[in-house]
Each structure stands twice: as C-alpha cells, then as structure tokens.
C-alpha cells in the first residue's frame, strides 16, 4: 500500500481461526463500497495458539490493504488494540471485535455520526444484543456501576464498535483492560464523546475467548474501575490562556 489511508481499522484476534477470514473479508467488502474513503485493516494476533496467525498472514499477502501484526505472549484485548493503534497510519481509527458479532457496516455509520456531532469519539450502543441473558444482565449491572462511579455518560462501554481521531491517543494513557474505559479516558483527557445505536449479531463460530468467566470479569472490573476513579480524581483540571 503506497498512499497513506485516512482510516485505520483495528481488529484484535485471539484464537479465532473459525471467524478470522470471514470477518476480514466482510470488512473488505463493506469498505470497498465506499471508494472515496481510503483505509487499511490492521489484524492483530494476540498470541493465538490455534491457526489464527497463519490465516492473518495469508490474508495480508492476498490483500494489499490488510496488515497482520503479532504480539507475544497473549497479553489481552487492550494490548492488542494498543499494538494496532501504534501501527495505524490513518488520522481516524475504527475498532471492532474479531468474532463477527459487530457489523462492519456500522463503521461508516459511526464515521458519519461523528462528523455530524463534531466529537472526537463516537461509540456504538448494542440495542438488540445477541448474547445470553446472563451476559446481558452482567453487562447491564457493570455499565450501571461504572457510570455511577465515573459519570462518563456512556450507555454500553462493552461495545467494541468505536471510531475516533488517532491524535487523541497522544493524550490518553492506556493500560491492561483500558478498552473497557476508553470513553472515560478520552473524556478525562478533555475530548468529546458521543454514542449511536449499532447492530449486534449472534456469534456464528466458536465461543468467546476474551474476558474469562463472569466472576473473573467482575473482580478485575472492580479493581480497574477503582484505578480509573483514582486517576480521574488526581487528573489536572485547569485551562491555559496565552496572551500576546
């Protein structure tokens, strides 16, 4: 790829050999319909132990807009996303999951809504979630607790469908599990964030690889929430005015 793309699409994969090719090809088909928009797809393998790395490398050889990245060892979704962010060349970044539940058509929808709203980040809201009752319930409780503590105004922080300006990342400090708090971290850095409904689909292949069990996510989430709350309270809150 010679020209610098305007949009970098970052997708983390961990043991998604059944879904990886279909997800990437669907993204390609969707984006090909929007000819004026130049883009690249960053496929990040998060230390997979199945056939995912080989599939991503093959896709990168087959398509000049695709790039495969590999991190070792398995380091989690936030680390995979950060690796993609560091390699991204576009001034805009879009993220979605590698399991096929996010609809790539929402990338363009989010970009349009972000431009209309004039914000730095646009997040998706899964209005009709294709998940189990237990998963939906635990997510609703987690969203309520996080919103009450951080007051970030975000309805569905677990939705990975997001678009934002890459230069914002220069002012946002990432850490393990930071992807759960992206909107709050952006707001803490002084950026504007909004939401819009997006599609959510049933998983066609395999089972969820990220996140562990509900109890594991609960305790990790509590610790992370306490850390972000501390950062929010300790953050600088001043404005600077320069006079000639």
Cβ proximity of 96 and 168 under 8 Å: no
Task: Establish if 240 belongs to a structural domain.
Answer: no
Say what the pTM is. Answer: 0.81
Report the distance separating Cα 54 and Cα 50, nearest Å: 9
Task: Establish if 241 belongs to a structural domain.
Answer: no
Task: Establish if 243 belongs to a structural domain.
Answer: no
Report the distance separating Cα 67 and Cα 183, nearest Å: 26
Instruction: Express each pLDDT in 178-234 by its tens digit.
Output: 777 888 889 888 899 999 999 988 877 666 665 554 455 554 555 555 555 445 555
Task: Establish if 177 belongs to a structural domain.
Answer: yes
Q: Count up the domains in the chain and report the number.
A: 1
Task: Establish if 1 belongs to a structural domain.
Answer: no
Task: Establish if 110 belongs to a structural domain.
Answer: yes
Task: Establish if 43 belongs to a structural domain.
Answer: yes
pLDDT of residue 219: 46
Can you give the CATH number for the domain in which 170 is found? 3.90.550.10
Please count the other Cβ atoms lying within 10 Å of the Cβ belonging to residue 171: 12
Instruction: Express each pLDDT in 83-134 by its tens digit.
Output: 999 999 999 999 999 999 999 999 999 999 999 999 999 999 987 766 555 5
Instruction: Express each pLDDT in 51-93 by its tens digit.
Output: 999 999 999 999 999 999 999 999 999 999 999 999 999 999 9
Angle at 94 between CA 221 and CA 154, to 5 degrees: 40
Task: Establish if 239 belongs to a structural domain.
Answer: no
Q: At 199, give phi and psi (nearest 5°).
A: -80, 155
- Give the range of the structural domain holding residue 180, as residue numbers without chain letter: 7-234
């Amino acid at each position: 790829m010679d020209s610098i793309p305007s949009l970098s699409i970052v997708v983390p994969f961990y043991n998604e050999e059944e879904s990886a090719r279909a997800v990437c090809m669907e993204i390609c088909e969707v984006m090909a319909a929007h000819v004026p928009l130049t883009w690249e797809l960053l496929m990040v393998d998060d230390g997979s132990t199945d056939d995912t790395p080989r599939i991503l490398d093959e896709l990168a050889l087959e398509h000049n807009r695709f790039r495969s990245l590999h991190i070792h060892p398995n380091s989690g979704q936030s680390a995979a996303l950060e690796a993609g962010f560091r390699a991204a060349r576009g001034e805009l970044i879009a993220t979605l999951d590698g399991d096929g539940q996010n609809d790539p058509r929402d990338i363009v929808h989010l970009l349009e809504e972000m431009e209309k709203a004039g914000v730095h980040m646009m997040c998706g809201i899964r209005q009709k979630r294709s998940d189990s009752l237990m998963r939906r319930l635990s997510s609703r409780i987690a969203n309520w607790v996080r919103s009450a503590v951080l007051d970030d105004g975000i309805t569905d922080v677990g939705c990975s469908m997001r678009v934002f300006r890459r230069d914002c990342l220069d002012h946002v400090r990432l850490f393990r599990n930071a992807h759960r708090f992206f909107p709050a971290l952006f707001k803490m850095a002084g950026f504007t964030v909004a939401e819009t409904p997006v599609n959510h689909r049933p998983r066609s292949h395999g089972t969820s690889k990220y996140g562990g069990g509900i109890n594991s996510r609960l305790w990790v989430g509590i610790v992370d929430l306490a850390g972000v709350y501390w950062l929010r309270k300790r953050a600088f809150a001043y404005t600077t005015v320069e006079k000639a």
